[in-house]
Amino acid sequence: AQTVTQSQPEMSVQEAETVTLSCTYDTSENNYYLFWYKQPPSRQMILVIRQEAYKQQNATENRFSVNFQKAAKSFSLKISDSQLGDTAMYFCAFMVRADKIIFGKGTRLHILP
């Protein structure tokens, strides 16, 4: 069975700093997708970034980038120049088939002024 582990339940960083959120997963599959979703206090689930496992290049979206290590089954999210609006719960997610996502427990990130 596939699992997703986020080992950091909660983190705090100062505004403008860089922060990295960890995620590991377990699977025997070779082709899959990985996602980071953000859930701010509004509770809306917002896609931050996605990565296809067959792509070696790490995905980047503005200040958000990932470090995808397929052999290590690691998928960390780096937020550069963090902003107050980045305060949220961040979920790492994994999908093999195009129908079922497995979410981690989440990391609550606080950006401090």
Partner 1 sequence: DAGVIQSPRHEVTEMGQEVTLRCKPISGHNSLFWYRQTMMRGLELLIYFNNNVPIDDSGMPEDRFSAKMPNASFSTLKIQPSEPRDSAVYFCASSDVQGRQETQYFGPGTRLLVL
- The one among 22, 27, 67, 103 contacting partner 1 by CB under 8 A: 103
Give yes or no for residue 1 binding partner 1 (CB under 8 A). no
Residue from 1, 71, 99, 113 touching partner 1 (CB under 8 A): that is: 99
Among 33, 65, 78, 108, binds partner 1 (CB under 8 A): 33
Helices assigned H by DSSP within 25-82: none
Q: Which two tokens stand for residue 20?
A: 């990295």
> Among 19, 21, 23, 35, which residue sits at the site for partner 1 (rule: CB under 8 A)?
35
Rounded Cα distance between 97 and 64, Å, is 25
Nearer to partner 1, 13 or 70 (CB): 70
Q: Which is nearer to partner 1, 13 or 33 (CB)?
A: 33
Cβ neighbors of 11 (< 8 A, separation 6 or more) are 19, 21, 107, 108, 109, 110
**What size, in residues, is the chain?**
113
Is 100 a binder of partner 1 (CB under 8 A)?
Answer: yes
